[in-house]
Structure 1
Amino acid sequence: MTNPLFDLFSHHPMSGAKEIAIVTGAAQGLGRAISLRLAEDGFDVAVNDVVSNSGTLETLVKEIQAKGRSSSKHIADVSQEEAVKEMVEEVVKIHGGLDMVANAGVTGRPGVPFGQIPAEEWDRVMGVNARGTFLCYKYAGIQMVKQGRGGRIIGASSIAGKQGMLMQGPYCASKFAVRGLTQAAALEFGPHGITVNSYAPGAIDTPLLAAASVTGDPSEIIKKSIEKSAIKRVGVPDDVSNLVSFLASKDAQFITGQSVSVNGGIFFD
């Protein structure tokens, strides 16, 4: 006797005939790597970023299309509810459905002592990283339940969402929040055949790493990460996109509510 729920997991859009993913914060770094990897895996990929990255996003669309996949550009600030709702509706209108990779994120201002962090800085970081992830999970989840075919929601946590970091209070809080959202959403969407997981990178050599440095030079962060790492190298975007590729596949159908570390063995959990 077949299990209808198993059928949902086995035939969700990320393993069926028409595979569609939206990747937020896709213009550079991890988002770009994830988008290209999913295209190589056979997905049509809708890509999102803010208006200042519009040109870079357009280039990414062309790169995805060059791989033989359909792609579309969606400019939206994920911290704004109506913008996320409209983005999801646009993607569905163009591509006929979606699964979600909520990758968009910002770093906190590095080197600011806890007692000197402005409330506005807390609002900025939490707005994109926590509120933005919540909104993407929410509206993707609503749509995916309507689709009735199961699927995947994947978010971006961090090493800073598993272990507190000096002078990074808002960023740590926002990434710990993603882990909680991921677990709660996994429980709610699981009965619909939808898995919800997140990836928790360590230091990855991307433009975001430079933004996390007090001097704007990520070399010191890279050096310290290599010293702590069991593998003795810094991460590269493909290390994360490889994990997302797996989480998006049918092979990951029995994994949900997890925030998977990809940190080179800086610590074990």
Structure 2
Amino acid sequence: MSNSSSPSQSNRVAIITGAAQGLGRAIALRLASDGFDVALNDIPAKSTALEELVTEIKAGAGTNSDRRAIFVPGSVADEEDVKELVDRTVRELGGLDVMVSNAGVALNGLIANTSVEDWDALYAVNVRGTFLCYKHAANAMIKQGRGGRIVGACSIAGKKGFPDSSAYSSSKFAVRGLTQSAAQEYGKYGITVNAYAPGSIVTELLGKFDAYNVKKQGLEPGQWTETLKNRAALRKLLTPTDIANLVSFMVSKDASFITGELSTSSTAKV
């Protein structure tokens, strides 16, 4: 499943979770372009998409024929799956320098209409999953003794609560606190911990938010998304590539003194 070559210590290694589509896919492509060997993770149902992304990354390596990419399916909500993701990455790619804990899910709905089951399922991915990725990536980095970069997926909803998004917004507030605490704990090991906190991004997830609000407000499909664009300072929405560019900087040597930060890439007016 991995088709990896023998490890080369000259290349830095990055894990990206939620890599099958959207932000995760864009981040994986960017970091591979930056010269990282990459380990891609998503749920087992998305294994085909992960395999196709591995093929695309290897095909795009060009003259850099030693560029390596593997995929390791599993749920970030399951500790054994996360541990296996980190262990396989270290074993097959020769180490771990960057963890991008990108996997996340969203849920629209009023508090009164949110079930305990839906709440717990969202928290299992967004909060427990982020915690497990931070924990096991840091353990591996500390063991290696060469520092590292950990990056989490927060949101503008982790800085300000929004109606109809109590579960999602509160989970991102949790990621915010976890990131700032982890930065304090792991700084002495040369590990930085930051998160990106974007506004509206053109992804499948935004389409689901649009569908919810269209139905609730009696709008035409796409009309709610258009209102977001009209309120944006630059009159346009973010793309996955915009966030991938930000992550590329966060894990670069130029960001070595930045830690505990939530970098907001927002199109909204302040």
2:188 paired with 1:196: no
Shift in Å, 1:226? 1.2
Question: Which amino acid counterpart does residue 207 of structure 1 have in structure 2?
Answer: E
Tell me what 1:63 maps to. Answer: 56
**Equivalent residue, structure 2, for 1:5:** none
- Of 154-163 and 210-219, more deviation after overlay is shown by 210-219
Question: Which residue identity is paired with 1:199?
Answer: Y
Does structure 2 conserve the Cα–Cα contact (< 8 Å) formed by 1:203 and 1:221?
no
Structure 2 CA distance for partners of 1:221 and 1:192, relative to 1, 3 Å: farther
- Structure 1: which 5+ residue stretches go unaligned? 1-15
- In the TM superposition, what is the alpha-carbon distance from 1:218 to its structure 2 partner? 7.0
- Tell me by how many angstroms 1:210 deviates: 1.6
2:28 maps to what in 1?
35
Relative to 1, partners in 2 of residues 1:158 and 1:102: Cα closer, same or farther, differing over 3 Å?
same
The alignment status of 1:263 with 2:238, answered yes or no, reads no
The 5 A counterparts of 1:81-120 are: 81-98=79-96, 99-108=98-107, 110=108, 112-120=109-117
Sort the Cα spacing of 1:218 and 1:208 in 2 relative to 1 into closer, same or farther, 3 A: farther
State the aligned residue count.
Answer: 250
Structure number with the bigger relative contact order (C-alpha 8 A, sep ≥ 6) is: 1
**Alpha-carbon distance between aligned partners in 2 of 1:125 and 1:218, rounded to the nearest angstrom:** 26
Q: Residue 222 in 1 paired to residue 225 in 2?
A: yes
Partner SS, residue 58 of structure 2: helix
Q: Deviations over 1:29-50 (max 9, x none)?
A: 0000000000110111110000
Structure 2 unaligned residues grouped into runs of 5+: 1-8, 62-66
Q: Does 1:131 pair with 2:137?
A: no
Letter in 2 for 1:18: N
Q: Kindly provide the amino acid, as one letter, of the partner of residue 74 in structure 1.
A: V
Cα offset, 1:86, TM superposition:
1.2
CA distance in 1, matches of 2:130, 2:221: 26
Equivalent of 1:167, from 164, 169, 187? 164
Provide the secondary structure at the position in 1 that maps to 2:15.
strand
Q: 1:267 to 1:134 in 2, by over 3 A?
A: farther
Distance of 2:148 and 2:249 partners within structure 1: 13
In 2, Cα distance between equivalents of 1:244 and 1:130: 20
> Does 2:183 align with 1:186?
yes
User: Hey, what does 2:256 align to over in structure 1?
Assistant: 253
Q: 1:44 to 1:201 in 2, by over 3 A?
A: same
Q: 1:25 aligns to what?
A: 18
Q: Deviations over 1:170-214 (max 9, x none)?
A: 100111111111001100110010000000111111112122331
CA distance in 1, matches of 2:116, 2:59: 44
- Structure 2 Cα separation of the partners of residues 221 and 34 of structure 1: 27
Task: Give the whole-Å Cα distance in 2 for the aligned partners of 1:203 and 1:87.
Answer: 30
- The Cα shift of 1:116 comes to 1.5
Q: Percent identity?
A: 51
Q: Which residue of 2 aligns with 1:232?
A: 235
Instruction: Select which of 47, 51, 68 maps to 1:54.
Output: 47
Alpha-carbon displacement from aligned partner over 1:137-159 (angstroms, at most 9, x marks no partner): 00000000011001100010011
User: CA offsets, 1:213-244, max 9 Å, x none?
Assistant: 31599723421221221111011111100000
Letter in 2 for 1:208: L
Q: Aligned-pair distance for 1:17?
A: 3.2
Structure 2 residue matching 1:75: 3-state secondary structure: coil
TM-score where L is the length of structure 2: 0.89
Q: Report the RMSD for the aligned CA atoms in angstroms.
A: 1.5
Distance 1:252 1:221 in 2: 36
Q: Distance in 2 between matches of 1:80 and 1:211?
A: 26
